Amino acid sequence: HGGLADWKTAEGISMEVEYREDEETIVADLIGGLRSGLTYGGAETIKELQRKLNYVLITAATRIENQPHRKIT
């Protein structure tokens, strides 16, 4: 936290790719996603994020619209 990340986790596009990564790469990507989520939530720990959570009721249409979009190539 507070500096440049050693690992960059992909965000924004959902698509299927062939499996080619080792376990270390997969775990690093998962940790990067957790760190990104903590940053978006303004928290440094998962416990802090849980305290700061604010649930918002959304419509079914909003849920569908906010699903990851597939990149068309």
pLDDT tens per residue across span 38-49: 998 899 999 999
Q: Sign of torsion, CA 18 13 48 43?
A: positive
Give mean pLDDT, residues 14-40: 83
Any residues with CB less than 8 A from the CB of 41 and at least 6 apart, and which? 49, 52, 53
pLDDT computed for residue 51 by the predictor: 93
Helix (H, G, I), strand (E, B) or coil at 39: helix
pTM: 0.57
Q: Which of 52, 30, 32 is nearest to 41 (CA)?
A: 52
Is residue 25 scored above 70 in pLDDT? yes
Give mean pLDDT, residues 28-47: 90
